[in-house]
Amino acid sequence: MKKKLYKFQIFMFFCHMQLKSKIKKNKFSMKRTFLNDFSLKKKYYKTTLCPLVESLSCPIYHLVQLKTNRYFLSNSLIEILCDMIEISYNVQIQMINSKGLLAISYYLEKASREHITVSVLNSILKLTKYLVLLPNPNGAILLKQLLDHILFNPSIWINCSVDVQTKLYSYLATEFVNDLNIYINIRRISAVIQTIHAIKYYYWVVDPRDRSGFEPKSDESMRPNKNTVIQLRAYMLLFIKELVTKENGVQQEELQALLNYLHTVNERK
């Protein structure tokens, strides 16, 4: 309970700081607001979940006074969002009806790479594990949206630190795919196609414009170095292998996606 209250205090502190910074760019006094009534807290979260994610890359003023690193509040914001999805049925319904995870993925794509830290990834992975075991129908719907829009979305992860990307793809290739509760909830064909797409357009080894004739979707100056890309691709290929070798073997759509990749990509490695 103390941990939840502490997170909520950070959340409210963040809200006031961002609002004040938009009103007074140079001088302003920050005020903390604490809501004691739980129903008010829940209502406040419900009406501000998605709009607050837009503030991920907003400038944070008076950082010296905060005595913390620039991205501490961003980590806390994502953690709070994930926690609220876990503990509130109403928030789950709102996220489904408003496609909230799609909105969150959009702002994560637009956020600077420093905002998506290992702590942010850990919060998302924790939410994934929770949704897998959620007994009500919301779990399956939210899990599908979380996988499609965030976890399997290379646009979010390609410019993150090597630590974040390595943790993500090593997790997908091992613990994630080998967890039976998770595996039975994966849209396998979609996961295979999305991963092949990520390798082709984001984690290429040789620039495809000259050798393969298509435009990549990742900026070479922002990507990890070549050796790291090869290592990350190894995890991604292992993930695909683990998916397609389970149960009834390779599906027609999966085989077609793999063949299309081999026919259209010309790389030395």
Question: In the numeric block, which tokens belong to residue 39?
Answer: 């129903």
Record the tokens describing residue 238, joined without a space. 């292992």
Mean pLDDT across the chain = 77
Phi first, then psi: what are they for 79, rounded to 5°? -65, -40
What's residue 124's pLDDT? 93
Mean per-residue pLDDT, 187-200: 91
Q: Say which range, 127-136, 196-205, 209-218, has the weakest mean pLDDT.
A: 209-218
Query: pLDDT band for position 168 (50/70/90)?
Result: very high
CA distance 17 to 77: 13
The total of other beta-carbon atoms located within 10 Å of residue 264's CB is 12
Residue 268 is classified by DSSP as -
CA distances from 9 to 3, 31, 160, 184 (A): 10, 11, 28, 38
What 3-state class would DSSP assign to 202?
coil
Residues 6 or more apart whose CB falls under 8 angstroms from that of 148 comprise 187, 190, 194
Confidence of residue 42 (pLDDT cuts 50, 70, 90): very low
Q: Residue range 195-199: average pLDDT?
A: 93
pLDDT of res. 268: 64
Cβ-based neighbour number of residue 126 at 10 Å? 14
What is the model's pLDDT at position 5?
Answer: 47
Amino acid present at 267: E
pLDDT in tens, 230-264: 999 999 999 999 988 877 778 889 889 889 888 88
**pLDDT tier for residue 37 given thresholds of 50, 70 and 90:** very low
Has residue 229 got a pLDDT over 70? yes
User: What is the C-alpha separation between 49 and 52, in angstroms, rounded?
Assistant: 6
Between CA 92 and CA 142 the distance in angstroms is: 8
What is the average per-residue pLDDT within 156-175? 93
Which sequence spans correspond to the domains of the chain? 1-151, 159-269
**What is the rounded distance in angstroms from the CA atom of residue 265 to the CA atom of residue 233?**
14
The pLDDT value given to residue 169: 96
- Rounded Cα gap, residues 80 and 83, in angstroms: 5
Model confidence over 77-119: pLDDT tens digits?
888 888 888 888 888 998 888 888 888 888 888 877 888 889 9
> pLDDT-based confidence at 56, cuts 50/70/90?
low
Query: pTM to 2 decimals?
Result: 0.77
